């Protein structure tokens, strides 16, 4: 039986990179860096074929950018310093790309990443198939 294909859509998210207290154990709080005051950052969800728009604002004291690990996308949206000017403190950048394949991926900082990732600058992006499951 042919499964119906879902209409492609645009899904929009806003991420703010910032610093905030994170209680990693009872009574033990550290200063985390992350997206939207949480570690890991918000889960981004879409269906294959959708366009994902993520507006990233940098409230950190140093530049950042977001790399979409494992997703096939245009180089200009890749979020590395080979293809993008890092987002300076106080500035924003809008990532916009189609997600061609279903899968579970992650996004993470790709600026000063050994520091920024260790402090919490990452999250999941889950792309479902663009069809309804047909169940008995
Ligand atoms: Cu990566």
Residue 99 falls inside a structural domain: yes
Ligand 1 centroid, distance to 107 Cα (angstroms)? 7
Q: Report the distance separating Cα 120 and Cα 31, nearest Å.
A: 10
The boundaries of the domain holding residue 117 are 10-128
Ligand 1 centroid, distance to 24 Cα (angstroms)? 23
How far are the Cα atoms of 10, 58, 66, 70 from residue 19, in angstroms, in the given order? 29, 10, 16, 26
Instruction: Report pTM.
Output: 0.90
How far are the Cα atoms of 16, 18, 66, 116, 117 from residue 61, in angstroms, in the given order? 13, 8, 16, 11, 15
The domain that holds 83 is classified in CATH as 2.60.40.420
Ligand 1 centroid, distance to 105 Cα (angstroms)? 9
Ligand 1 centroid, distance to 26 Cα (angstroms)? 30
Ligand 1 centroid, distance to 108 Cα (angstroms)? 6
The string of pLDDT tens digits covering residues 76-113 is 999 998 899 999 999 999 999 999 999 999 999 999 99
In this prediction, residue 2 has a pLDDT band, given cuts at 50, 70 and 90, of low
Ligand 1 centroid, distance to 1 Cα (angstroms)? 38
Q: Report the distance separating Cα 20 and Cα 53, nearest Å.
A: 25
The string of pLDDT tens digits covering residues 25-70 is 999 999 999 999 999 999 999 999 999 999 999 999 999 999 999 9
In this prediction, residue 132 has a pLDDT band, given cuts at 50, 70 and 90, of confident
Surrounding residues of ion ligand 1, Cβ less than 5 A: 69
Per-residue three-class SS string for 5-17: ECCCCEEEEEEEE
Q: How many domains does the chain have?
A: 1
Residue 135 falls inside a structural domain: no
Residue 15 falls inside a structural domain: yes
Higher pLDDT, residue 80 or 132: 80
Q: What per-residue confidence (pLDDT) applies to 29?
A: 96
Rounded to 5 degrees, what are φ and ψ at 50? Answer: -70, 160
Q: What per-residue confidence (pLDDT) applies to 3?
A: 64
Q: What per-residue confidence (pLDDT) applies to 5?
A: 76
For residue 39, give the DSSP letter: S
Ligand 1 centroid, distance to 69 Cα (angstroms)? 5
Q: Say yes or no to pLDDT of 73 above 70.
A: yes
Residue 136 falls inside a structural domain: no
Tokens of 40: 């890991």
């Amino acid at each position: 039986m042919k499964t119906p294909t879902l209409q492609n859509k645009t899904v929009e998210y806003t991420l703010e990179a910032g610093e905030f207290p994170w209680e990693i154990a009872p009574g033990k709080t550290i200063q985390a860096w992350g997206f939207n005051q949480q570690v890991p950052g918000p889960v981004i969800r879409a269906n294959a074929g959708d366009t994902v728009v993520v507006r990233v604002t940098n409230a950190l004291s140093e530049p950042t950018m977001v790399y979409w690990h494992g997703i096939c996308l245009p180089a200009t949206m890749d979020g590395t310093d080979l293809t993008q000017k890092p987002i300076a403190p106080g500035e924003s950048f809008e990532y916009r790309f189609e997600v061609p394949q279903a899968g579970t991926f992650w996004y993470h900082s790709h600026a000063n990443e050994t520091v920024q990732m260790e402090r919490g600058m990452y999250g999941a992006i889950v792309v479902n198939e663009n069809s309804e499951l047909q169940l008995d």
